[in-house]
């Protein structure tokens, strides 16, 4: 058995957040351990309120869990505030937690703000240097770099800048208008994981599923390139199997993935992107 620790917020409608992480990790045959950062009151239409876990209690959850069972990989999701970012970074550094996947969640898919603007710099300074990989979508990549990201060229430019902070970078392209491309940059090569654009309204939780599956594949000892490809495939399958839940966006549905059969289109190259 492999063990994956997710440090994230709770989504009361069950589509995203720590609930999506648990479903994903379990679907891939690993055991999910959790540390809550915030409890939200939300549904498919929006977030009504959020209650952050008190200072010191997030790290207490982490320390208590790993004292009994050390994780093979860790992912972070909604962190909410600057103090939470610093607290989590400190315990990850002190305990030398490995295979850290940072999903820099900033806004809910329903539009609510999930990370204080002031915490973005703390994430860049304290947390990202500890990560093995960071998984921003195009809007989050823009927030991390201060640039507008709207196409593959912008995704690569942002990935190269974020890589200077330390971790490998996967910019997820589900929000691109015409294509569905995830871009992976390891400091040397750029890889594209591409599939046909999926026409679905059931997208709630897709970013959480991607980062949680990536962490699980790393826990299963896949290398980063292969883990990124498998996470891309797994998330596409979860979108295809999504279903309505409430009056707003429906939810993705994590499904077991046969890694021998599900192969996406992968392109690798070195050097800069040219249209």
pLDDT tens track for 176-233: 766 789 999 999 999 999 888 888 999 899 999 999 999 999 999 999 999 999 999 9
Within-domain flag for 107: yes
* Tens digits of residue pLDDT in 45-99: 989 999 999 989 999 999 999 999 999 999 999 998 999 999 999 999 999 999 9
Within-domain flag for 275: no
For residue 204, the 8-state DSSP code is: B
In the chain, what is the straight-line distance between the N-terminal and C-terminal CA atoms, in Å? 44
Within-domain flag for 105: yes
Q: What is the CATH number of the domain that holds 39?
A: 3.40.1190.20
Within-domain flag for 72: yes
Within-domain flag for 30: yes
Q: What angle do CA 213, 47, 21 make, to 5 degrees?
A: 15
- DSSP letters for 85-150: HHHHHHHHHHHT--SEEE----B-TTS-B-B-TTHHHHIIIIIGGG-SEE--BHHHHHHHHTS---
Domain count, the chain: 1
Give CA–CA dist 213/228, Å, rounded: 9
Residue 258 sits in which domain range? 3-270
Q: What is the mean pLDDT of residues 229-240?
A: 94
Position 260 pLDDT exceeds 60: no
For 222, the 3-state DSSP assignment is coil
């Amino acid at each position: 058995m492999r063990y994956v620790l997710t440090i994230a917020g709770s989504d009361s409608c069950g589509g995203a957040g720590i609930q999506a992480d648990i479903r994903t990790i379990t679907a891939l045959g690993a055991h999910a351990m959790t540390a809550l950062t915030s409890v939200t009151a939300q549904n498919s239409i929006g977030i009504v309120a959020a209650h952050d876990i008190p200072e010191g209690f997030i790290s207490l959850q982490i320390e208590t869990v790993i004292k009994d069972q050390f994780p093979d990989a860790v992912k972070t999701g909604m962190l909410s505030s600057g103090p939470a970012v610093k607290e989590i970074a400190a315990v990850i550094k002190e305990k030398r937690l490995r295979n850290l996947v940072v999903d820099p969640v900033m806004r809910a898919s329903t539009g609510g703000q999930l990370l204080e603007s002031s915490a973005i710099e703390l994430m860049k300074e304290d947390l990202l240097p500890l990560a093995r990989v960071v998984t921003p979508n195009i809007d989050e990549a823009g927030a991390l770099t201060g640039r507008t990201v709207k196409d593959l060229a912008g995704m690569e430019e942002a990935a190269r800048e974020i890589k200077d902070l330390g971790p490998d970078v996967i910019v997820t392209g589900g929000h691109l208008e015409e294509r569905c491309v995830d871009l992976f940059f390891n400091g040397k090569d750029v890889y594209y994981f591409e599939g046909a654009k999926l026409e679905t309204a059931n997208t709630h939780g897709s970013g959480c599923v991607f980062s949680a599956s990536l962490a699980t594949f790393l826990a299963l000892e896949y290398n980063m390139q292969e883990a990124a490809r498998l996470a891309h495939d797994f998330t596409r399958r979860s979108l295809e199997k999504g279903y309505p839940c409430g009056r707003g966006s429906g939810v993705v549905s994590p499904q077991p993935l046969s890694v021998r059969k599900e192969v996406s289109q992968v392109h690798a190259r070195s050097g800069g992107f040219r249209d």
